[in-house]
């Protein structure tokens, strides 16, 4: 399958497909003409990559996980710890953002109260 065909089949841009290949997530072979070709499993691989990216995983982690992703999209149990670590990281960031939002809300409220007192 040509890169344009893979892009059309997956709704992914040619530029992103090239990036996935550069990151070691997607494999192609070259014809004598130098054009990329992908095997028939490439659309499924791209869908798995997109799913893992949607879960917030960086490409370096996806590269490690991808061989362990099953046909149904689940990940082999040996990589469960990796997924749990990333979930904890997301939870930590959400908590930090929530605290920042609370602080900013309090600052805005205090500033408005101060402005009202001055007027």
Residue pLDDT tens, the chain, 119 long: 999 999 999 999 999 999 999 999 999 999 999 899 999 999 999 999 999 999 999 999 999 999 999 888 888 888 999 999 999 999 999 999 999 999 999 999 999 999 999 98
* CATH code of residue 66: 1.10.1660.10
Q: Are residues 27 and 69 in the same domain?
A: yes
Nearest C-alpha neighbor of 63 from the set 49, 73, 76: 49
Q: Are residues 57 and 82 in the same domain?
A: no
Rg (CA), the chain: 22
Q: Pick from 39, 60, 75: which residue ends a domain?
A: 75
At residue 29, φ and ψ (nearest 5 deg) are -125, 160
Neighbours of 49 (CB within 10 A): 25
Number of domains in the chain: 2
At residue 60, φ and ψ (nearest 5 deg) are -65, -35
Q: Are residues 58 and 81 in the same domain?
A: no
């Amino acid at each position: 399958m040509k890169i344009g065909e893979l892009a059309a089949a997956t709704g992914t841009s040619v530029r992103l497909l090239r990036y996935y290949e550069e990151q070691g997530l997607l494999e192609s072979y070259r014809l004598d003409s130098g054009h990329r070709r992908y095997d028939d499993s490439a659309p499924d691989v791209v869908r798995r990559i997109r799913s893992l990216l949607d879960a917030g995983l960086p490409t370096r982690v996806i590269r490690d996980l991808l061989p362990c992703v099953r046909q149904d999209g689940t990940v082999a149990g040996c990589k469960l710890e990796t997924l749990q670590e990333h979930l904890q990281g997301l939870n930590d960031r959400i908590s930090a953002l929530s605290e920042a939002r609370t602080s900013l809300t309090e600052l805005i409220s205090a500033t408005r109260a101060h402005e009202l007192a001055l007027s």
